[in-house]
Structure 1
């Protein structure tokens, strides 16, 4: 199809789809977290592995405060903790993107 021969779309449907695209994105991100977070490796990540291999991991200082230590929710254990930590991460990133989008859209007006 060329640009001149596109299928007509109703104004109402197009407006609703444009307005609620973020719902689909948020739902997909949450679904990915719920499915994939329990499958995450319990082995150290790349930087931690290098620190172990080079034997300087014990000299590292922990942070004084962590939001989601080791990608878990303190007080919870197992996959539930990992999934909830992932969902919290998705919510934080989503909120930051909404704020950034609003700030940038105001600047462009």
Structure 2
């Protein structure tokens, strides 16, 4: 195989490991944007806004919040670690397939040389 093929397959393998294993160790705490958007509001122990005025008080549920991969986990799988792993692996494979398809379509076509 070519060196570029090994490079791409190695990158895919690392991405699959990160998405399938390491993603389960990601922090569940709110990130900086979530924290900043609740400044000025009163928030209860569950993270729900109970009063005040802040940017997050106008937030709505996402239209695709009921999709099978919502909240970074596959709906219907009882084990939360497995649900997150499957969701991450599916996302990597889908991204790889779309990216590979775009590169395949955009690649330079070689014209056959006459003998």
Secondary structure class of the residue paired with 1:81 = helix
CA distance in 1, matches of 2:31, 2:106: 35
Kindly indicate whether the alpha-carbon contact (under 8 Å) linking 1:72 and 1:82 is maintained by their aligned counterparts in 2: yes
Residues 80/98 of structure 1: CA separation in 2 closer, same or farther (3 Å cut): same
Matched, 1:61 2:60: yes
Which ranges in structure 1 are unaligned for 5 or more consecutive residues? Answer: 1-15
Alpha-carbon RMSD = 2.1
Higher relative contact order (CA 8 A, sep 6+): 1
Which ranges in structure 2 are unaligned for 5 or more consecutive residues? Answer: 41-53, 110-115
Structure with the bigger percentage of helix = 1
Q: 1:97 aligns with which of 75, 99, 107?
A: 99
CA distance in 2, matches of 1:58, 1:84: 32
Q: 1:46-79 CA distances to partner (integer Å, 9 max, x unpaired)?
A: 3222222343323211222145322111223422
TM-score normalised to structure 1 length: 0.68
In structure 2, what is the equivalent of residue 71 of structure 1? 72
What is the total number of aligned residue pairs between the two structures?
A: 92
TM-score normalised to structure 2 length: 0.65
CA distance in 2, matches of 1:89, 1:74: 14
CA distance in 1, matches of 2:57, 2:75: 23
